[in-house]
Amino acid sequence: MITVEKMNIGGVNMVESIQIDPGGKGVNVSRVIQRLRGKTVALGF
C-alpha cells in the first residue's frame, strides 16, 4: 500500500509512505477470522 498526499490522475504522484503487508487468499481469510475473535493459524511455504 502506498500513501500519496493528492492523487494526480495523468500526472506525477509522489509517494509519502509505503506499507508492505502479507497477503493472499489464505492470509486475508485468517486476518478476518482473527478480527472476529476466532482462532486461526496461517502457515506458508
Give me the pLDDT at residue 25, please: 86
Rounded to the nearest integer, the mean pLDDT of the chain is 90
DSSP string, the chain: -EEESS--TTS---EEEE-----SHHHHHHHHHHHTT--------
pLDDT of residue 33: 95
Asked if residue 41 belongs to a domain, the reply is: no
The answer as to whether 45 is a domain residue is no
Kindly state whether residue 40 falls inside one of the protein's structural domains.
no
Shortest CA distance to 43 belongs to which of 20, 14, 18, 22?
22
Range of the domain at 29: 2-35
pLDDT at 32: 92
**Number of domains, the chain:** 1
The answer to whether position 43 is within a domain reads no
Q: Is residue 26 within 8 Å of 40, Cβ to Cβ?
A: no
Per the domain annotation, does 31 fall within a domain? yes
Residue 6 has pLDDT above 90, yes or no: yes
Confidence band of 22 (pLDDT split at 50, 70, 90): confident
